[in-house]
Amino acid sequence: MSRQLRLDLRLKLFERLLSQDVAFFDATRAGAMAQRVEGDVEDMSRPVPLLINNVLQSVVLIVGALICCLISSARLTVLSAACVGPMIYLTKVSAEWGASLNNAMTACEEEANSVVTEAMTNIRHVRGFSAERHEAGKYSRVLSRLFRKMRKEAYGDLIVENLEGSLEFLVQILVLCFGGMLILQDHEEAGSVGGLIAFTMYWGILRDGVDSIQSMFSELAQAAGAAQRVFDLLDISPDIPLDEGVELQRESFLGRVVFEDVHFTYQSRPEKPVLRGLSLEVPAGSTCALVGRSGAGKSTLMHLLLRFYDPQQGQILIDGVPLTALSLRSLHDLTGFVSQDTKLSYGSVRENLTYGLPWVRPEEGELEAAGREANCSEFVEEMEEGYDAKVGEGGVRLSGGQRQRLAIARAFLRRPRLLVLDEATSHLDSENEQLVQAAIDRLIHAARCTVILIAHRLSTVRNADVIAVVHDGCVAEKGSHDELMQLEDGIYAKLIAKQAERAANVLPEDGGGGGGGGDAGRAADPNVDGLFDKVLGRRDSSESGSSSSKGSGGSSGSSKGSGGSSSSLSLLDSL
């Protein structure tokens, strides 16, 4: 029963964790949450077998022994009971002190688990910097704090045990002395020596029952702290529910996206607004490319569209319906998302491609077709087990470009009506990028798919129906490539000019003449932020280190808007 309770509670707690907002995980550590799911649930459920197995037995012992003691000698029973009050008080104080100390020890254990989790997850980073001693030292410092608290707990338990033992010994001395005096004085209530020995035996049985109850209370006190943390987590309700709202239907979904006066600031950085009154419209079935320097707010814009967060002001509309009124799960079922940092789970290629697929199993040949469109079928088929080959934890058995192409294939497999690409082709070489871009174009035309993308290469940006230059938390310029190039002193036109100037001074990789070839453009653009600094002026040092860094204004193109996001870098490759 206790095992079933423990497993059910772990499942319920994990489900509640998965339902929390993304902002919740921004402020927590993975190791701490793992400690809640495993360690706290274990501590919380540990007293259950004690309650089931020991309580009834202890109560029967106490009641039976007490009756025998009263029958044997009422005076000696009253005298012996004098120690019960101090013992109860001592147990109460000890339990309160132990619960407080146990919370501090749990915090240390959560921190220790986080250190191990981070080190194991980033083992290549640790090894690359030869930081094994640093990580071991960090873990050792946490364990040292934990050991000091454990030692304090051990000393406290020793003091309590000695005090209780001293009280019990004192009572035994008083019982023997008082009972012996009664026997020597031939008192009317005095019994025999055998009766006195029998009383001490009965009282010893009673004390065993009380000790069992005391130990159970000590376990319950520790479990109370763990239970408080577990129930605190269970009581947290997400601000962004997954299943509430209007269900989107694939047949009627168009994919028109409108941002209206969107303001957003991360809770962890309330002093640095990311988006400042952003307004942007993306027509259904069109492609919108976001361009801006690193930290301008492009990825944040994507995250708001996927409703990882809600804006503090303004709203986002999908087909004319506020995003907050839609079922988030149904929106994600119709959305394909590829980030610049691809995440793969431990499992096979097939399991990763079908991860989160609304219809669970793809149709015959659909998996392979998606692999071919994303240009990943070749390296998958070279694996010994093909699509059943294991990719390792986080996809460590694949290269960065291979992981990215699997993520793109996964997006294609979902048959999305809204495709969100956050530098999705950033890890691909020129040949593979052209193949994937052609597949994206086919997907757009075949499925009437709306695409919003962040890209750092002109080959991806220039074909977009709408290009939005994100700057200072808004859209400084918006229009097609040709429209933006015609703007005098436009930010986009200046970026293209700077790109061309760099490309003209770099030889192509094939050894041909200089100019604006694709490879030359890539070699000439090692630092996109540098281009923005030249065009817009260098940022303050206080801004450059923040993912919500800001710039200065700009002119607008054929239509005006505002826009933003927080992580990646969106530009250009070559002319």
pLDDT tens digits for 320-339? 999 999 999 899 989 988 88
Could you give the CA distance from residue 229 to residue 10 in angstroms, rounded to a whole number?
Answer: 13
Could you give the CA distance from residue 181 to residue 147 in angstroms, rounded to a whole number?
Answer: 51
Could you give the CA distance from residue 399 to residue 185 in angstroms, rounded to a whole number?
Answer: 95
Mean pLDDT of 399-403: 80
Interval 206-258: pLDDT, tens: 888 877 777 777 777 777 778 888 888 888 888 888 888 889 888 889 889 99
Query: What H or E segment, with its residue span, contains residue 138?
Result: helix 132-184
Going along the chain from its start, the domains and CATH numbers come out as: 2-235 (1.20.1560.10), 278-334+417-575 (3.40.50.300), 339-415 (3.40.50.300)
Decide the pairing of beta strands 466-471 and 321-322: unpaired
Residue 67: CB partners within 8 Å, gap ≥ 6? none
Q: How many helices (H) and strands (E) does the chain have?
A: 23, 10
CB 440 within 8 A of CB 410: no
Interval 47-58: pLDDT, tens: 766 666 677 788
Which H, E and C letters describe 470-512, residue by residue? EECCEEEEEECHHHHHCCCCCHHHHHHHHHHHHHCCCCCCCCC
**DSSP annotation of 557:** -
pLDDT at 540 over 60: no
The pTM assigned to this predicted structure is: 0.70
Unique residue bearing structure tokens 């028109």: 256
Give the Cα-Cα-Cα angle 135, 136, 142 (nearest 5 degrees): 95
561 confidence band (pLDDT: 50, 70, 90): very low
Interval 509-534: pLDDT, tens: 444 433 333 443 344 443 445 555 65
Mean pLDDT of 6-34: 84
Residue 534: CB partners within 8 Å, gap ≥ 6? 498
**Helix, strand, or coil (residue 139):** helix
**Helix, strand, or coil (residue 262):** strand
Could you give the CA distance from residue 319 to residue 257 in angstroms, rounded to a whole number?
Answer: 6
How confident is the model at residue 568, as a pLDDT?
32
CB 378 within 8 A of CB 431: no
Q: Name which of 49-58, 253-262, 309-318, 492-501 the model is least confident about.
A: 49-58
What integer best gives the mean pLDDT of the chain? 77
pLDDT at 305 over 90: yes
Interval 58-116: pLDDT, tens: 888 888 888 888 887 787 888 887 777 787 788 778 877 877 888 888 888 888 888 88
Burial 222-260 (b: 16+ CB within 10 A, else e): bbbbbbebbeebeeeeeebeeeebeebeeeebebbbbbb
Mean pLDDT of 107-133: 81
CB 453 within 8 A of CB 421: yes
Give the Cα-Cα-Cα angle 518, 523, 529 (nearest 5 degrees): 110
